[in-house]
Each structure stands twice: as C-alpha cells, then as structure tokens.
Structure 1
Amino acid sequence: MTRRSRSRPWILSAPALLLFLVLLLVPLAMTFILSFHSFSFYGGITPTFSLENYIEVLSDGYFYEIFGRTFAIALATTLICAAIGLPQAYFLSRMHPFWRSVMLLVVLGPLLISVVVRTLGWAILLGNKGVINDALRDLGLITSPIRMMYTSGGIVLALVHVMVPFMILAIWAALQRTDPATESAAESLGARPWTIFRRIVLPQAMPGILSGSLIVFSLSASAFATPAILGGRRVKVVSTTVYDEFLNTLNWPLGAAIAMLLLVSVLAIMVGWNRLVERRFAGVFE
C-alpha cells in the first residue's frame, strides 16, 4: 500500500474531523479551562488557576443530591425504555416488510417533533388542572388533583416518551442480524417460549440493549428542556443547575465545573457499564 493510499482516508475525513474539532472539542476545552477560573460578585470572573470550584461541588451535599437525582432519573428512564423497547423491537423484526415500514414511521414520528413541544404536551396532561386529573375527577375516582407536575416521576414519564425510539432502533438493528430459524429450531427441540426468549432472543438482542442503554442514559442525564419544564424549581437536576449558575448567578466557572463533572461522571458510568456487560455477556444467559 502506497503512502498516498494510506493517507487518502484521512484526507477524505478531514472536513468532518475539522467540524468535530471546531464544534465539540474546542467548546469543551474552553469550558474545561473556564472551570478553573475564580468568581466573585464584585470582581466577576478572574482568569486564575484554582480548584476551588471543584472543591465546592465535591464538598457540598447539595450537589451530591442533585447528581444522585439526575442519575436516578436517567437510570429509571433507561430501564423503562429497555422494558418497552425489547418486545417492540422483537415484534418489529418479525413483521411483514410493509407493516414494518409503517411501524418504523410510527416509532420515528415523535422524533420529528421538537422536544420542547412534546414536553409542553406532557405539561398539559400532567398539570393539576390537566387532562388526566380532569378526567379522573369527572369519573369520580379522585376528589383532589394528583400532583404529577414538578415531580421526578413526571420527568421520567416524559423522558421515556422522548428516548424510547432510540432504544427501539438500537435493539431492532441488533435483531436484524439474527436468524429467525434458530427460534424455530429451539421450538422443534421442545424448548418453551420463556427458554427461547432467555437463551436465544435476549443474548442476541443484548448488544442492542447495551448500545441503546448507553444512548438513553447519556441523553437522559444531560437532558435540559424536559426537566426544566416539568421539574421547574422544585426538582433540580444537573443541567438546570448549570443553567442557573450561568444565567442567574452568573457564576460561569462554577457552572463549567459542574458541567465537566457531569461529563466525566457519565463517561465513567458508560465505560464501566460497557466493560461489565462485555465481561459477563458470555456466561450470564447460559
């Protein structure tokens, strides 16, 4: 292979790499540098190198509560999306091509609508005077409204609606590479439906569940619009805390430090989960 042929892939990918560098890596580097600056209400941002912002976050139980709530919401969203996405992706992979195309359009349809619009729709449904509470009150099932807005449960419900297409597509892509004849062979050998699902379908779908879980968890942990609208000031997560630090208190260095800690935490969880599943994948379902 000549030197020109070896360098050709790099030359062809140079525009995309340059765009990636400018739009992602450069802002991340600037945010990382900003997190070490100091801030005072009278002097503003001082370009110094200090760990005081990280020390403040890591030594305050208030921020531990916010991070714990954020990851709990992301984990609950991921588990519910996996429980919904696996059977739906399985049936999707076994459908006739025409109906599969129709169902793919149904699955992808919500992605064509803005997250803000979908979240506002959930606010109309979950409010104290929303559609759900009014319906339950008209049916005589409740006398006072059930508080669903400004709760972690409401945020999880809306995030599941936003994130479940990513899980379905990831699992469906994994099941597309499997051979349906293996299930028929297992059934002909006397395997029960639960055994077929546990020993054949689930291991084959596990790569899709893993990739879908990583996508859903990372997007849920960093989501802003849904927690901001449905959580308000009562249920604060890391993304809304960063927003408050940047635009309300104007403490950009502290907000940058919180953002960097969120990034590192999500990356650590994703890498750890990936290694754990890859290490135990071979023997879990035997």
Structure 2
Amino acid sequence: MSVKWAMGDRTENALLALPGLLFLALAFFLPIGQILMLSVSGPHGPTLDHFARFLGDPFYLGVLWRTVRLSLIITVICALIGFPFAYIMARVGPRLRLWMVIVVILPLMTSVVIRTFGWMVLLSRSGMVPQILRDLGLAERNFSLMQTETAIVIGMVQVLLPFMTLSILGVISRLDTRLEEAVRTMGCSFLGAIRTVVLPLAMPGVVAGSLLVFTLSASSFVTPNLLGGTRIQVLAASIYKSVTQTLDWPFAAAQSVILFVGVLLVLVPYAKMTARSHG
C-alpha cells in the first residue's frame, strides 16, 4: 500500500513540475540548441570551420583569455571586499545593518548604463580620479584610465559587488556567534577566529557569490565596452560586433558556444573542489 502511495506522490510531483520544466526547456534549452545548430551551420552543411577560425586566430584567443582573466580578477576583488563588508553587516545592530543593506542594494536600482557613464566621467583624462593622481604626483599630465583594463575592473567591481556581499551575508548572518566567542576564549585572536571559524563556515556564500560574479562578468557587454572601448575588447563585445557589423551570425554563435564552454571549464572544477571541501 505504501508503495502505491509513493508512486502516486511521484506522479503528482512530476505533473506539478511539468509546466515549469516545459517553460525551462522553451526559455533555456531551446535557444541554446538553436545557437549550437547555428554555430556548426555552413553553406554546404554542418561544419566546424567557425570554431577552427576562432581557435586558429591569436586575436580571438587573446580576447578569450582577456575575458577569463578579467573575470577572475573581478571575482577575487569582489570577494576580498565583500567578505569583510558582509561580516561587519552581520555583526552590527539591526538598524545600522538595515542602512548598510540599503547602501549595498541602492546601486542595483540604477541602470548599469548610467553607472558606467558615471565612471566614464570620473576616469576620463579630465575626470576626478586622474586629476587626484596628478595632484599627488602619481600620474603624468595626459594620464587617463579610460580604455584600459583597470577601468573595466573598477566599473565591474562596483556593478557586481552587491551580488558577492549579499551572498556572503546570507550565510554569515546565520552563524552562531558563540562559536567565535568559544574560539576567542581559548586564546585565538580575532583574525585567527575569522580564518579558522567564520571563513570556512561562510565558504558556501563565497562560492555562490563567486559563481554569480564570474558568470556575470564573463558575459557582460555594456560596462567593458564603454570603459574599455574598441581597443580593449572582451568576448561579449566581439560577439556583438560579429552580429551587428559583419553580420556573421554563425561565427557569433560559435563564439557564444566557446564562451559558454569556457565558463563551464572554470566553474565546474571550482564548484566540485569547494563542494568536496566544504559541503
């Protein structure tokens, strides 16, 4: 009798999940399938020429490497800033925590384009940041941060930092503070308690935030394109150029597949290692 009930529950659960699975297939798997088919389409049938063209051109390989490298740098910086900020938010009083959360969330209510234009003003040759560096004698007269990888990193960290901070905050806020107190009473320093207790327990939040930041930065187009310009090109901008300027849709699809696979090659081993170590 219990077996029949279990089978009935499974059937009911499957029927309830069916609309969501169908929607997921239409909204996610169907476009990916179309991109895969387009990436191997040629004038005389299926071909891998588009992938060979990308992998055989040092320019496109450099664009791919720049995209992955900048995404890793942005992820590390967001983690280094987001973890202490999330820890402070989790340990302050409720009223101050509310205001700090508002400060973190408030930039998300402004368009990424507007925030990027703000950075363009600040980082341009006549902007505030280069002017301060020139006044301090740290930069030359014509110094500008625009159209550099540094500008892309600064803009992307500001855009993606809330995702990292909130992901870590959700984990640290659930940790029992008595664990830290117990370690401190046994002679451990504050930084030692953070390193041995808080950081290992907060690692799921760090992993979740890192996955979000890396994937969003690797596929970002607006901020890298505006701050980096045409000279510092990332893969999303290269895909956009192939679609809008050269009208080479199969090659753009091949670049999209390579970007997707490249992100998976970085994320899957990272997720498996952290899952094995921290559950």
State the TM bucket, normalised to the shorter chain.
Answer: over 0.9
TM-score normalised per structure 2: 0.92
Question: Is 2:39–2:250's contact at 8 Å kept on the other side of the alignment?
Answer: yes
Change (3 A) 1:241 1:10: same
1:71 matched to 2:42: no
SS of match in other structure, 1:124: helix
Identical columns (%): 37
Query: For the residues of structure 2 that align with 1:223 and 1:259, how far apart are their CA atoms?
Result: 12
Residues 222 and 9 of structure 1: CA distance in aligned 2, closer, same or farther (over 3 Å): same
In structure 2, the residue corresponding to 1:200 is in which secondary structure?
helix
1:213 has 2:217 as partner = no
5+ long unaligned stretches in structure 2: none
Measured in 2, the distance between the counterparts of 1:120 and 1:176 equals 34
Aligned equivalent of 2:268 = 271
CA 1:19–1:151: 2 relative to 1, 3 Å: same
- The Cα of 1:4 is off from its aligned counterpart by 4.3
Q: 3-state SS of the aligned residue for 2:174?
A: coil
Q: Deviations over 1:115-162 (max 9, x none)?
A: 111111111111112232345556776551322111111001000001
Q: Is 2:128 the partner of 1:125?
A: no
Question: How many residues of Structure 1 are paired with residues of Structure 2 in the alignment?
Answer: 275
RMSD between aligned alpha carbons?
1.9
2:170 aligned with 1:173: yes
User: What is the identity, as a one-letter code, of the residue corresponding to 1:19?
Assistant: F
Question: Could you tell which deviates more after superposition, 61-70 or 138-147?
Answer: 138-147
Q: C-alpha displacement at 1:276, in angstroms?
A: 2.1
Residue number among 7, 25, 36 corresponding to 2:11 in the alignment? 7
Q: Which amino acid aligns with 1:90?
A: Y
Asked if 1 retains the 8 angstrom alpha-carbon contact of 2:130 and 2:145, the reply is no
TM-score, normalised relative to structure 1: 0.90
The correspondence for 1:194, drawn from 177, 191, 194, is 191
Match of 1:34 among 28, 33, 38: 38
Deviation at 1:252, TM superposition (A): 0.7
User: Over residues 77-122 of structure 1, what are the superposed CA-to-partner deviations in whole Å (9 max), with x where a residue is unaligned?
Assistant: 0000000000011111112222212211111111111111111111
Alpha-carbon separation, structure 2, partners of 1:131 and 1:116: 19
Q: Could you say which residue in structure 2 is the equivalent of 1:238?
A: 235
In the TM superposition, what whole-angstrom CA distance separates every residue of 1:169-202 from its partner, at most 9, and x where no partner exists? 1111111231110111111111112221111011
Shift, 1:268, TM fit: 1.7
Q: Paired residue for 1:16?
A: 20
Amino acid at match of 2:171: A
Paired AA for residue 260 in structure 1:
V
1:57 corresponds to which of 47, 54, 58: 54
The unaligned stretches of length 5 or more in structure 1 are 39-45
Matched-pair contact (CA < 8 Å) for 2:204–2:278: no
Q: Distance in 2 between matches of 1:136 and 1:155?
A: 18
